[in-house]
Amino acid sequence: MSEAQRAWRRGVREALQVPAAVTAAGYLGFGALVSGYGGPLWAAVLSTLTMWALPGQLVLMDMWQVSAPLVAVLLAVAMANARFFPMVLTLMPLLRDPQHTRGRLYAAAHFISMSSWTVCMQRCPQLPPGERLPYLIGFASACIAVGMLAGAVGYLIADAIPPAVQFGLLFLAPVYFFVMLIGEARSRIAALALACGGPAGPLLHLVTPQWSLLLAGVAGGTLAFAIHTMLERRRE
């Protein structure tokens, strides 16, 4: 077995613990939601493979249900998923390795989501450079497979899931990210950005729901960057 295969397997193995459970819970809820909206089963399953972004998928099905125009859907989904740009940008330097082609990097980008990004940002520096990309692919493909399966199951058993339980399933993902981001933030800069971006999200949502995510990122991130720069200067 090659190094890459071993790294891939390690990714799969590490995904099939808490991350897979959280993914399964989230997509069970998503599948049930699509069923409740009267959408087809294939949409609940396929969108996980093609988008791999639960919040964006929720936005998509939400807007489909109210017959929103195509352009509005495209804009809303793009805005809900704008976070992928800085996320991919910051993870890429960790994934790069002379043995990876450009095409492989572009393909790998599709596998970067909230869960794989938060895990890889901490995990990748501990791995040899060549093994990071296969690790990410293994981790994310396991999660995607689980997500597709859970979406189908959630869709099919939607009527049997009481609303209170459906609610609990959907809430699992925010709790997971909440604990993970606070507990696993290793660097000061990450902690600063989390502290600044957290309050900015809900506050800006009150002002402008459509733009809140983007603005919270830029405003909170800039504030954190300013504080970080100031602290660095003081130390010198």
Partner 1 sequence: MNELWLLLAAGALGTYAWRALGVLLSGRIAASGALFTWVACVAYAMVAGMVARLIVMPSGLLATSLLPHRLIACALALAVYYGCRRNLLAGVGAGAVAIAVLNALRTAPLWQ
Tell me how far, at minimum, the Cβ of 1 lies from partner 1, in Å. Answer: 28
Q: Rank residues 12 and 121 by Cβ distance to partner 1 and give the closer one.
A: 121
In the complex with partner 1, the residue whose CB is nearer, 74 or 128, is 74
Sign of CA dihedral 149, 152, 158, 160: negative
∠ CA 76-78-84, nearest 5°, is: 135
CA-to-CA separations, 73 to 5, 53, 64, in angstroms, rounded: 39, 15, 8
Q: For residues 1 and 233, which CB has a smaller minimum distance to partner 1 in the complex? A: 233
Which of 146, 134, 135, 91 lies closest to 113 in space, CA to CA? 91
In the complex, minimum distance from the CB of residue 6 to partner 1, in angstroms, rounded to a whole number: 24
Helix ranges (DSSP H) in the chain: 3-15, 18-37, 41-50, 54-65, 70-80, 84-95, 102-109, 114-123, 129-156, 163-184, 188-207, 212-235
DSSP assignments along 69-98, one per residue: -HHHHHHHHHHHTTTHHHHHHHHHHHH--T
Residue placing its CB nearer to partner 1 in the complex, 142 or 200: 200
From the CB of 134, what's the least distance to partner 1, in Å?
Answer: 17
Take residue 61 and report the two structure tokens written for it: 């099905």
Residue number, 8 or 47, with CB nearest to partner 1: 47
CB of 56 to partner 1, least distance (A): 6
Q: Measured from the CB of residue 156, what is the shortest distance to partner 1 in angstroms? A: 18
Closest distance to partner 1 from the beta carbon of 135 (Å): 17
How far, in Å, CA of 232 to CA of 116, rounded? 30
Residue number with CB closer to partner 1 (149 or 214) = 214
